[in-house]
Amino acid sequence: MVDFTALPPAAQARQLGLPEGEVGIDIGLRMNRTNRAGNVAAVDRLELAPGHAVLEIGPGNGRLLPDLMARAAGLRYLGIDISPTMVAEARAFNAARIAMGEAAFELAEATAIPAADASFDRALAVNVIYFWPDPVVQLREIRRVLAPGGRLVVASTTPETARAMPAMRAEFGLVTRTAEELTALHREADFTEVSVDVMRDTVPRPDGTPWEVTAFLVVARV
């Protein structure tokens, strides 16, 4: 398998935005490890209840789904991703749930979610907002498919943590934002009761040494 960390920063950025092939599979597995605490914290903030319909933007290889589905009975789930590699990985890993009709993974953009208005009770987007050139477009589309009283949780690496990551640069199309900027974007997209928390975690660097990282967790209501 090709090692993602061996790529130059520009190539890393391209693969982070659109994981492809063996490198993309490697990225997905790395993200499972490094994003574990952030994923759990984000799902906690969804406050799932029995029967909720859940939308995830950018689920990657779909390894989060079992944890999410265990939070409440009768959940229905749709994950959309722009990477054919990740959609294939997610479908393979979650084949049993897909066969039972509990979950689906589709190739789709967050600018055109394949769902009717007010279809979901909860939405989740972890580490994807900084790939969106104009996030208000995607946020408004997510709001469209959320039912009244619905909730969106967005996780985003802080600018401070991003500065230590060679691939996380605006020149490569990845823009991280402050808590104030994230709040303003969600309000512009007509979400209400927007709050932002800071999550701190220690994850392994590629060489195995510990690395303290921070991320914002945004909770926005319809």
Strand order in 53-57's β-sheet? 103-107, 76-81, 53-57, 120-126, 146-157, 210-221, 192-204
Tokens 């690496």 sit on residue: 157
- Residue 168's pLDDT is 67
DSSP β-bridge partners for residue 218: 154, 196
Those residues whose C-beta lies under 8 Å from the C-beta of residue 135, and which sit 6 or more positions away, are: 129, 185, 189
- Residue 134's pLDDT is 93
- Residue 139's pLDDT is 99
Those residues whose C-beta lies under 8 Å from the C-beta of residue 113, and which sit 6 or more positions away, are: 55, 80, 141, 142, 144, 145
∠ CA(195), CA(58), CA(94), 5° rounding? 120
DSSP β-bridge partners for residue 215: 157, 199
**Burial (CB count <10 Å: 0-12, 13-18, 19+), residue 171:** exposed
Q: Which domains, ranges and CATH numbers included, belong to the chain?
A: 34-221 (3.40.50.150)
Q: Quote the pTM value.
A: 0.91
- Residue 180's pLDDT is 98
Residues of the chain with pLDDT under 70: 1-5, 166-173, 205-208
Q: What is the pLDDT of residues 101-127, one digit of tens each?
A: 999 999 999 999 999 999 999 999 999
Q: What is the pLDDT of residues 74-92, one digit of tens each?
A: 999 999 999 999 999 999 9
DSSP β-bridge partners for residue 102: none
Those residues whose C-beta lies under 8 Å from the C-beta of residue 163, and which sit 6 or more positions away, are: none
User: In this structure, what token pair is assigned to residue 212?
Assistant: 């303290």
Give Dmax over CA atoms of the chain in angstroms: 46
Determine the residue type at 100: M
- Residue 3's pLDDT is 66
CB atoms within 10 A of CB 170: 10
Closest of 143, 142, 151, 101 to residue 121, by C-alpha: 151
The number of CA neighbours under 13 Å toward the Cβ of 199 is 23
Question: Which secondary-structure segment (H or E) carries 106?
Answer: strand 103-107
- Cα–Cα distance for residue pair 90/106, rounded to 1 Å: 10
